[in-house]
Amino acid sequence: MEMMTYSDMEERKNDYIEKLLEKGIYKVGKYQLYELPLLDLQKIYHNSFENNIR
């Protein structure tokens, strides 16, 4: 598996932030989206997607 560079991770993080903003999610608890790490953003996005399906 290929390692992600810092800029790749930042780009991916920005993509998740953009997708969450489109869904109307701006904050998670006391944190703004940009303060969260990539893995947390991925979990939040996938959980919100699963909740919309049900």
Per run of 10 residues, the mean pLDDT along the chain (length 54 residues) is 85 95 90 94 89 58
Distances (CA, A) of 41 to 7, 9, 15, 51: 16, 12, 10, 15
Residue 52 has a pLDDT of 66
Contact 42, 16 (CB under 8 A): yes
Residue 44 has a pLDDT of 94
Residue 53 has a pLDDT of 52
Residue 35 has a pLDDT of 95
Residue 54 has a pLDDT of 46
Residue 2 has a pLDDT of 72
